[in-house]
Amino acid sequence: MNTLLQDAQLVLDAQKAAAHVGLQSDTIIVNGGRPLRGRIDVRGAKNLVTKAMVASLLGDTKSVLRDVPDISDVHVVSRLLEIHGVEISGSPESGTLVLDPANVAIAQSAEIDALSGSSRIPILFCGPLLHRLGHAFIPDLGGCRIGDRPIDFHLDALRSFGAVVEKLPSGINITAPNGLKGANIELPYPSVGATEQVLLTGVRAEGTTELKNAAIEPEIMDLIAVLQKMGAIISIEPNRVILIEGVEKLKGYDHRALFDRNEAASWASAALATKGDIFCVGAKQQEMMTFLNVFRKIGGDFDVEEDGIRFYHPGGDLKPVVIETDVHPGFMTDWQQPLIVALTQAIGTSTVHETVYENRFGFTDALVEMGADIQVHKNGLEGGNRRVPRRALEQAAVITGPTKLHGADIEVPDLRGGFSHLIAALTAQGTSRVSNVGLISRGYGDFTGKLKKLGADFSFEA
């Protein structure tokens, strides 16, 4: 796709996402320079909730999912489930969904197509649909534009279970003429999505599945908890090995989703960058330990309380850090974008090595336009003691601060980069016009309501 077409598609995606959650406009005008202060709720994790919704397809009875965030990705997955015959009651607005898979059926490919491009989740429908219907069709996948985001690990894993994969111009057609059988699978990289693919397929495959080099993110552990409630037998062995004993039947679950640690880390970064004080109700310490260490090293402070975590700028100077993004328990790739805004305010030079995606610093262009001093090294930086062995994908951003940010006209490029733009606009002196904010609602529930609660000065463009 050429750049003009990509930009047009981005605007369209942003508008669709904004419409899903009833956002008044896709552009907001922000008057920055005020600290964000107050208390906000953090609901269930996008990266668990959407997968738990897919897991409901595997049960014979209704599932109940609680603490669901009102984000556009949840609306897209709900629609995808509905066109496959799942009846959904409750709503993301109320925070509870009841998913009834009694009448699962093959969807019209035109209906799936209409949703194509707006979410990466359809690939995870493969295992459950193959078990239920013996057939799955997956449209072109969307998601954030942060790299190539191939699905080879997913397709290889499905083939190991005995699935037959046929690539068509409109998507991927998958069948299981001889059923799905347990397999020995070793992932080339501990991919979150591919681990979920193996879990959602292995639980009802015949026999035992051994998955090596699995992802062990807290959201994966919570998905395993969901599947165990449904009747699955899954054990977590040392050294990233997961064993799944296939069972014939699964029932529905009742589950309260794990909180969204990406959302909590984003608001924490906003507190630091704007010299504010934000209490995230629902945030928990254990899943955020790596983030909390970095937050403290930079000069932020936090209080872990019974009902959440208070993140604040305690006064004094912020200090630079060196970070490498990594799989869990390392520093998440989704945390670097909002934190980089805070690093523009630290005294000295910080370095962020991105090792998970090959194109996740595009958002820094807008920060530079706003006055930040950030240099992106597209082929990474050599040297120094590194925690993560160098991956071919690696890139680095070098941030020198402190710099005064000023308002600008900026376009949100993707979900996390978009939140980073929002924080930059709130930190900057003067007025910013931030467009495509619909993309932020893919993963941040009621972010404009929360901004109001935190005292941000902004309005929707008419």
Which positions are annotated as active-site residues?
144
DSSP 311-326: EE--SS-----EEEB-
Q: How far is the CB of 147 from ligand EPU (least distance, A)?
A: 5
Q: How far is the CB of 188 from ligand EPU (least distance, A)?
A: 7
Respond yes or no on whether the N-terminal peptide bond of residue 92 is cis (omega within 30° of 0).
Answer: no
Comparison of 130 and 428: residue with beta carbon closer to ligand EPU: 130
Residue among 18, 41, 119, 27 at smallest CA distance from 281: 41
The residue of the chain with the least Cβ separation from ligand EPU equals 193
DSSP label at residue 190 = -
DSSP 411-445: E--SHHHHHHHHHHHHHSBSEEEEE-GGGGGGTST
- The answer to whether the beta carbons of residues 209 and 198 sit under 8 Å apart is yes
Binding footprint of ligand EPU on the chain (CB under 6 A): 46-47, 120, 144, 147-154, 189, 191-194, 215, 217, 262, 332-334, 356-357, 393, 415-416, 443
Q: Could you tell me whether strands 135-139 and 348-354 are parallel, antiparallel, or unpaired per DSSP bridges?
A: unpaired
Structure tokens at 127: 């295992």
Structure tokens at 50: 């959407």
Q: How far is the CB of 95 from ligand EPU (least distance, A)?
A: 19
Q: Based on C-alpha coordinates, what's the Rg of the chain?
A: 22
DSSP 22-53: T-S-SEEEEE-----EEEEE--B-HHHHHHHH
CA distance 404 to 402: 7
Q: How far is the CB of 99 from ligand EPU (least distance, A)?
A: 18
CA distance 324 to 301: 21
Comparison of 366 and 439: residue with beta carbon closer to ligand EPU: 439
DSSP label at residue 181 = B
Q: How far is the CB of 148 from ligand EPU (least distance, A)?
A: 6
Comparison of 27 and 213: residue with beta carbon closer to ligand EPU: 213
Comparison of 106 and 216: residue with beta carbon closer to ligand EPU: 216
Q: Could you tell me whether strands 208-212 and 184-186 are parallel, antiparallel, or unpaired per DSSP bridges?
A: parallel
Q: Could you tell me whether strands 63-66 and 254-256 are parallel, antiparallel, or unpaired per DSSP bridges?
A: parallel
CA distance 27 to 113: 27
Comparison of 70 and 217: residue with beta carbon closer to ligand EPU: 217
> Who's near 304: CB < 8 A, 6+ residues apart?
285
Q: How far is the CB of 170 from ligand EPU (least distance, A)?
A: 20
Q: How far is the CB of 190 from ligand EPU (least distance, A)?
A: 7
Report the b/e string of 272-283 with b at 16+ CB within 10 A: bbbbbbbbbbbb
Within 13 Å of residue 421, how many CA atoms lie on the same side as its CB? Answer: 30
Comparison of 147 and 348: residue with beta carbon closer to ligand EPU: 147
DSSP label at residue 216 = -
Comparison of 161 and 312: residue with beta carbon closer to ligand EPU: 161
Comparison of 190 and 407: residue with beta carbon closer to ligand EPU: 190
As a dihedral over the C-alpha atoms of residue 218, residue 96, residue 122, residue 332, rounded to 10 degrees, the angle is: -30
Comparison of 405 and 440: residue with beta carbon closer to ligand EPU: 440
The residue assigned the tokens 């370095």 is 351
Q: How far is the CB of 248 from ligand EPU (least distance, A)?
A: 28
Q: How far is the CB of 358 from ligand EPU (least distance, A)?
A: 7
Within 13 Å of residue 306, how many CA atoms lie on the same side as its CB? Answer: 0
